[in-house]
């Protein structure tokens, strides 16, 4: 998420009550998670396991819970609870806004687009031209939809990321301040849910078609002209490249990549990144011929055990 205007390091330090290391006039232009940061962004880290990753990332301001050597060209903000401080920035610059109508007065809806009765269009939503938003769709604040998009009944675009940190008193939520971005010529099936990014964007690219009852997690990128079958579950921070096909009930773990033109057959479970241009099946997903041989071998075990007795 980019701030409405750039802030100085000293201004951000004052807002969150942190101690700064670096030029007080150092510019901070936004916040983002470690896997999506770019120059000008602030990111947070609160576990030694990830210190080096954060310090060596493209982020130029690091919110951290220990004083360390500051990399050249960057700045540090020292805070006892970086997670909490980061959440305070998210809620300050992207606060919850109460709705006052089924279609917000701040929503921008392009020429020729149809909003069917019962659809909810939140604050600051952008919808392009010649779209159809069917009844009972919910489009949360700040969602962006391109041209010639169809969203079927019951779909929910822009719900919060499923991201929590364990605390002694329970789970602490990392408040979402990202968006869902739907590009042109996308179709989204009935009762499908697409979560917004934690602080970046969840993106569905040009021409992709999503069936009914699909769940797409936060900060996931779906490439161009993909097909995603019914009841697929795609965890957060996943990258699905162009022309990928996921058939029905495929489950995809987080933080992995499915390469261009890969095909994953129905009922598969993807637990690691997959090379493009190949077909996969099974749990865990692998070459279908290999998986069938494994099944055939398992079926032979009772007879083999009988002969050994």
- Check pLDDT > 90 for residue 104: yes
Report which DSSP code applies to 168: T
**Mean pLDDT within 181-191:** 98
pLDDT tier at 138, thresholds 50, 70, 90: very high
The SS3 call for residue 270 is: strand
CA distances to 112, 182, 281 from 178, in Å: 27, 13, 33
The SS3 call for residue 251 is: strand
Q: Which residue's structure tokens are 């697929």?
A: 232
Contacting residues for 218 by C-beta, under 8 A, at least 6 apart: 161, 162, 163, 176, 178, 195, 196, 197, 198, 202, 236, 237
Percentages helix, strand, coil for the chain (3-state, rounded to 5) are 15, 30, 50
- Check pLDDT > 90 for residue 35: no
Q: How far apart are CA 184 and CA 169, in angstroms?
A: 44
Two tokens, residue 297: 């071998």
pLDDT digits (tens, 9 = 90+) for 268-309: 999 999 999 999 999 999 999 999 999 999 999 998 888 887
Domain ranges of the chain: 2-93, 108-288
**Mean pLDDT within 234-258:** 98
- Residue 305 confidence (pLDDT): 87
**Mean pLDDT within 184-202:** 98
Candidates 3.40.50.620, 3.10.129.10, 3.10.400.10, 3.40.1390.10; correct CATH number of 2-93?
3.40.1390.10
Strand partners, 216: 194, 234
- Please report the DSSP string for 51-94 in residue order: HHHHHTSS-SEEEESS--PPPTT-EEEE-S-HHHHHHHHHHHHS
- Check pLDDT > 90 for residue 10: yes
Catalytic residue flag (residue 47): no
134, 142, 152, 218: the catalytic one is 218
> ω before 284 within 30° of 0 (cis)?
yes
**Mean pLDDT within 145-160:** 98
Nearest one of 143, 109, 150, 137 to 123, comparing CA atoms: 143
102 and 119 Cβ atoms separated by less than 8 Å: yes
φ, ψ of residue 86 to 5 degrees: the values are -65, -45
pTM of the complete model beyond 0.85: yes
- Residue 131 confidence (pLDDT): 98
Topology of the domain covering 108-288: UDP N-Acetylglucosamine Acyltransferase; domain 1 (2.160.10)
- Check pLDDT > 90 for residue 174: yes
């Amino acid at each position: 998420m980019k701030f409405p205007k750039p802030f100085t390091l000293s201004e951000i330090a004052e807002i969150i009550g942190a101690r700064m290391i670096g030029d007080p006039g150092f510019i901070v232009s936004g916040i983002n998670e470690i896997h999506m940061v770019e120059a000008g962004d602030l990111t947070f880290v609160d576990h030694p396991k990830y210190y080096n990753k954060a310090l060596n990332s493209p982020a130029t301001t690091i919110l951290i819970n220990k004083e360390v050597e500051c990399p050249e060209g960057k700045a540090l903000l020292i805070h006892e609870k970086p997670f909490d401080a980061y959440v305070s920035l998210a809620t300050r610059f992207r606060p919850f806004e109460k709705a006052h109508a089924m279609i917000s007065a701040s929503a921008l809806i392009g020429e020729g687009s149809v909003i069917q009765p019962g659809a909810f269009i939140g604050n600051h939503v952008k919808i392009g031209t010649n779209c159809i938003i069917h009844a009972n769709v919910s489009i949360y604040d700040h969602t962006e939809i391109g041209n010639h998009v169809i969203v079927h009944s019951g779909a929910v675009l822009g719900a919060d990321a499923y991201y929590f940190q364990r605390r002694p008193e329970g789970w602490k939520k990392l408040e979402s301040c990202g968006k869902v971005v739907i590009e042109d010529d996308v179709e989204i099936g009935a009762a499908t849910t697409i979560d917004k990014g934690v602080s970046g964007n969840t993106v569905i690219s040009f021409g992709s078609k999503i069936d009914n009852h699909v769940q797409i997690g936060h900060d996931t990128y779906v490439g161009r002209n993909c097909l995603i079958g019914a009841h697929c579950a795609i965890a957060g921070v996943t990258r699905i490249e162009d022309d990928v096909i996921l058939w029905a009930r495929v489950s995809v773990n987080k933080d992995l990549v499915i390469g261009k033109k890969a095909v994953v057959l129905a009922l598969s479970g993807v637990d690691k990144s997959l090379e493009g241009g190949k077909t996969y099946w099974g749990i865990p997903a692998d070459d279908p011929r290999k998986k069938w041989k494994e099944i055939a071998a398992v079926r032979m075990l009772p007879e083999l055990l009988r002969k050994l007795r």
